[in-house]
Chain A
Amino acid sequence: MEDGEVAPAGVGPSGVSPFVSKVLAPGDVVLDLNSANKVLRVGSGLRQDGDSILATKVGRLRFQKQSNKYWVEGSQKRYIPNVEDTVVGIMVDRRSEMFILDIGGPAFGSLPILAFEGATRRNIPNLQVGAAVYARVVNAHRDSDPELSCTDASGKSAGFGPLKGGYIFECSTGLARGLLNKPTPPVLEVLGKSLSFEIAVGLNGRVWVNAPKVTTTITVSNAIQNSEFLSPAQQHIMVKKLLEEL
C-alpha cells in the first residue's frame, strides 16, 4: 500500500522535494507549491501553509510517483485513524444500530451492524463486549468519531470480521506498518517456516496472534515485539534463538 519510492536527492526534474527519505522535524518546509507542476496529494504528517508544504511530525519523508503523494512516515504509540486503514478493534459497547469498538485512537469507532458480508436484519453478527474485530476505517474526519466496516468496498468480507480466540498485544504504529510490508519481514518469514499460527496486524498498533499451542503464541508475540529495531540479519538470529528454546 505504501511503497515509498525513493526519489534522487536534490531537486529532481519534476520538482520533487529534496527531503525525500530524510528525517524531518515539525516545521520543516518540504516543498513550494509554486514549483510543483502537477496536482500533489499531501498525506499524513504534512500540512499546507499558504504556498508551502510543512511537516507536522518527526519521521522520514516518502514520495510515491504513481499517485504524486507525499507523506511523513513516523512511529507512535498512539493511533490516529486514517481512511482505508485496517485495524484490530475491541468491542466495548452495543448500540441499536452499531457496535462501538475501541481502536486505540482518541475516539471510539462505530461499526454498523449491517457492515458485514451477507448481513441482513434477520441475521446480525453476534458480537459480545470484549470481542476482537478486524475492520477497515471508512470515515475518519477530525470532527466526528471514526466509522468502520467489516467489508471491503465491494461488499465482500475480504478477511474482515470477528477474530475468534487468540491473543492481542500492542505495538507502535511503525512496527505494525513494517509487518504489513511486502516483501514479508524476515521475522514473520522465519517464524512461518517452523511454526503454524495466524496473525492479524492492525495499523492501530495492535497485533492478534492465534495458534493451536500456547507456546507458539508466546514465541510469535515475543519475536515480533523484539524485532522492531533489528536489522533483517539480526531478526534471523533472534528468531532462531527463540525457536531453539521451544
Chain B
Amino acid sequence: MTAMEEEGAPPSLDVSQRTDGRSASQLRPLQCSRGLLARAHGSATWSQESTTVMAAVYGPKPAAMRKENAERAVVEIIWRAKNGLPGSYEKEAEVVVRRSLEFIILTALHPNTAISVILQVISDDGSLLACAINAACAALVDAGIPLNGLLTAVGCGVTHDGQVFLDPTKLEEQKSKAFVCLVFPSRPLSAVSGLPADVDGEPFEHGILTSVTHGAMEVDEYFTCVENGRAATAKIAEFSRNSIERSQKRVSGAV
C-alpha cells in the first residue's frame, strides 16, 4: 500500500494489544433493556459497552395518505444522532436499517398502516450501525410487531496490515484500514429437525442480510470478516434469547 511510504504513515493498530484488553475475536459486554419508554408501543436500549442506542417503535398505526400502501405496512426509520442536524450519514443509516428490518417484519399482515422505528444515538464508541440494528430488532420484539425471525448485527474491522478484529471501538475504527457492519439472521429454536433448512449447503444463519463497508479491504480480508462475524452472532443471538426469556418471566400469569 503506497500510503505506508508517505510521511504521514497511518496510525498503527495492534490487534493483539487492544486498549481494553480484548482479543481480536472478543465482543464487548452486551446490555439490553426492554420496555423503557412509557408512550412508545415498544422500546429497547442496546449497549455494546460504551456504544448505546435507544430504539422506539410506534405501530402499526394509520399511515399518512401519500405514504400508505394497500398491500403492506410501510416501515419508516428516523435516525437521531447524538448532536447536530441530520445529514447524509443519518439518511444513509436510515435506508440501511429500513432495508434490514423490512426483511424480518411481516408487513403483509398490516396493510394500510405504518410502523415507525426511531433510533436515538445515546453514545457512540464504534460499531454504531450494528448496535442500532440490534436495538431496533429488540424494540420491534417489545412492540409485538409480527416478525419472521430476529437479526444479529456485528461490526468488524481490518487493520492496515490485514488483521481482522471484531467489535471495533471508535478509536479502532479510525485507525483501521476499513470496517464493516454485518447483519445475519438469528438461528431460531426448532422443534422439527431439519428446519430451518440449509441454503445451498450452508446453515441458515450464515446468510448475509446486510453488509455496509467503510474503506477498502481485500476480498479475502472481507471473507475473514464474514467468518468471524458469523461466529460472533451465535453469542449475540444467545444473549438476545436470554434477554427475551428473562423479560417474559415477569409477565403475569407465567407458568
Contact = CB atoms under 8 A, between A and B. Distances in A.
Are A and B a genuine interacting pair, yes or no?
Answer: yes
Interface of A: 6, 11, 17-19, 21, 23-32, 35, 45, 47, 49, 52, 54-60, 73-78, 80, 106-107, 142-143, 174-175, 177-178, 181, 227-230
A229 B248 contact: no
B253 interface: yes
Nearest to B63: A106
A93 B146 CA distance: 30
Contacts of A227: 252
Contacts of A32: 191-192, 195
16 contacts: A19-B191, A25-B244, A26-B148, A27-B147, A29-B192, A49-B148, A54-B148, A56-B146, A57-B141, A74-B144, A76-B41, A77-B41, A80-B144, A107-B62, A107-B113, A227-B252
Pairs of residues from A and B, 6 with the lowest C-beta to C-beta distance, nearest first: A27-B149, A76-B144, A27-B188, A26-B147, A56-B146, A29-B190
B42 A77 contact: yes
Interface residues of B, number: 42
A164 B143 CA distance: 32
The dominant DSSP class at the A interface is loop
Given A27-B149, A76-B42, 11 more contacts: A17-B191, A29-B190, A35-B192, A52-B195, A54-B148, A54-B188, A56-B106, A58-B244, A59-B248, A78-B143, A181-B253
A143 B69 CA distance: 11
A57 to B, nearest CB: 5
Given A58-B244, A60-B248, A106-B60, A28 B190 contact: yes
Interface string B211-255: 000000000000000000000000000001100110110111111
B237 to A, nearest CB: 9
Nearest to A143: B111
A29 B149 CA distance: 10
Query: What DSSP secondary structure best describes chain B's contact surface?
Result: loop
Contacts, number: 132
B104 interface: yes
B153 to A, nearest CB: 16
A229 B141 contact: no
Given A17-B191, A32-B192, A142 B111 contact: yes
Contacts of A229: 250-252
Nearest to A73: B253
B126 interface: no
A78 B141 CA distance: 12
Interface of B: 41-42, 59-62, 104, 106, 109-113, 141, 143-144, 146-150, 185-186, 188-192, 195-196, 240-241, 244-245, 247-248, 250-255
Contacts of A19: 189, 191
Given A57-B144, A58-B141, A78-B144, A27 B251 contact: no
Contacts of A31: 191-192
Nearest to A4: B255
A77 B143 contact: yes
**Candidate in A18, A74, A75, A143 with the most chain B CB atoms within 10 angstroms:** A75
Residue among A19, A27, A80 with most chain B CB within 10 A: A27
Nearest to A57: B144
Given A23-B244, A54-B148, A77-B143, A28 B188 contact: yes
A11 B193 CA distance: 12
B64 to A, nearest CB: 14
Nearest to B104: A26
